[in-house]
Chain A
Amino acid sequence: MKRLSLSQACLLHASGELGPEASKRLLAHIQANPSAMVEHDLVAGRYACLQSLPSLADELDQVSLERIRQNIVGGVLEKRRAHRRREIKRKLRPVYYRFMSIASGVAAALVVMAAIHVVQVRAQARAQQLSDAETTFQELAQTNLPARRSFMLRRMSWNRYSADGGSGIAASAPNGSSAILQFLDALDRVRLNASSSISSPQ
């Protein structure tokens, strides 16, 4: 129980908030003390002044009140809907970001794999072309027929041209082939001279 001053107790009594037991005690006190009775009447009069303020229903007509009510109820429900939408978005955001990061990771991995595949294919093609050129060169070294040699040189030149991606030294391949042709003719001559020098003592 709280101890209240006389004026506080009178105020509670005037407002009807003092309990029945406390009210009885207060009334007994003010009946026994004239000064307390004066204080009680003073406080009651002051409180009555507050009570005389018009209420909302006294000030605003029914139509205005209904309009305000609809405005408030509608506004609250609308704000509640907007809040729920925001909440759903907020809850979905981490899921969305996780999905997007996984998707972008997968896409990046695919791009890397595709790039590696392309590089591998190109490397294999280049190795194959070099291998073909090597084979052709060996065949060329073993043949004696000038026409066939010329044909194979052109083929080898073309293989080199393709292996180098159609640029650079490939442009000079036909000139190079004539140089190689001369070189091979020289080799033939050396071989013929050697064979003649070996056969001459016989």
Chain B
Amino acid sequence: MDSQALSALMKRCQAGDKEAWSELVDLYWQRLFGYAYKATRNKDLASDLVQETFLRVVQKFDRYSDQGKFEAWLFRIIVNLVRDNGRANARRQMRSTVVDHETGSELTDHLAGKVAADGVEHREDCQKLYSALEQLSEMDRQVLLLRHYGCMSFKEIASVLGCPLGTVLARAHRALGKLRVIMEVDHETS
């Protein structure tokens, strides 16, 4: 959707048009959910976080002035929510261990169910990629998840994370390098 159409849609939302809200949610939910799902590894939690993101938008929409940065704003909200959720989970360490275990298996189940059609080899590669992603630092993983699941450009990611483009590119470069190394080590050991 181009910026003019998005601007018109947001004006309709600000006017309280219910259909416009449905359109807006339809437009972004999949990217937001994709990022939140991969970051939290929990489908229900990711769905809640996406809803919470839109609720924050609803709460502050009256004061929002459109400067063509809506998408960055939206993703900044969900990135912060995911980060807050991660911190809350870290505080509940005992529970976190159980959740990780459960959601880890949930992720594997999904992979097993859907990706199985693509062949065992591909599925194993994907699992390796996921476990390699797990081993990255939070900031490095965040950049890659926003790039791949949030479908954001590096420039937009820089805007969301509030850091220079060079920093984002450096993180992405480092993260991709680590990912490659982890994958190669895994491949050699297997």
Which residues in A have some Cβ–Cβ distance to B below 8 Å?
2, 4-5, 7-8, 11-12, 15, 17, 43, 45-47, 49-56, 58-61, 65, 68-69, 71-73, 75-77, 79-80, 83-84
Q: Smallest CB–CB gap between B31 and chain A, Å?
A: 9
Residues of A within 8 A of B180 (CB): 45-46, 49
Top 4 A-B pairs ranked by shortest CB distance? A46-B176, A8-B169, A75-B51, A76-B54
Count of CB-CB pairs between chains A and B under 8 Å: 120
Q: Assuming the A-B contacts A46-B177, A56-B33, are A73 and B169 also in contact, with contact meaning beta carbons closer than 8 angstroms in the complex?
A: no
Q: Smallest CB–CB gap between A5 and chain B, Å?
A: 8
- Per the bound structure, the CA–CA distance linking A60 and B46 in Å amounts to 14
The answer to whether A15 and B154 have CB atoms under 8 Å apart is yes
Which residues in B have some Cβ–Cβ distance to A below 8 Å?
16, 18, 21-22, 25-26, 29-30, 33-34, 37, 43, 47-48, 50-51, 54-55, 58-59, 110-111, 113-115, 118, 125-126, 129-130, 133, 144, 147-149, 153-155, 165-166, 169-170, 172-173, 176-177, 179-180, 183
Main SS class of interface, A: helix
The answer to whether B148 and A72 have CB atoms under 8 Å apart is no
The answer to whether A77 and B153 have CB atoms under 8 Å apart is no
- Per the bound structure, the CA–CA distance linking A54 and B173 in Å amounts to 20
- Per the bound structure, the CA–CA distance linking A68 and B29 in Å amounts to 9
Instruction: Tell me which of B55, B129, B169, B177 has the highest count of chain A C-beta atoms within 10 A of its own C-beta.
Output: B169
- Per the bound structure, the CA–CA distance linking A75 and B54 in Å amounts to 9
The answer to whether B33 and A68 have CB atoms under 8 Å apart is yes
Q: Which of B25, B37, B155, B172 contacts A11 (CB 8 A)?
A: B172
The answer to whether B170 and A49 have CB atoms under 8 Å apart is no
The answer to whether A72 and B51 have CB atoms under 8 Å apart is yes
- Per the bound structure, the CA–CA distance linking A76 and B136 in Å amounts to 32
Give 25 A-B contacts (CB < 8 Å), ordered by A residue.
Answer: A4-B169, A7-B169, A8-B170, A11-B169, A12-B154, A15-B154, A43-B173, A46-B179, A50-B144, A52-B129, A53-B126, A54-B111, A55-B149, A56-B33, A59-B110, A68-B29, A68-B33, A68-B47, A69-B29, A73-B29, A76-B21, A77-B18, A79-B51, A83-B55, A84-B16
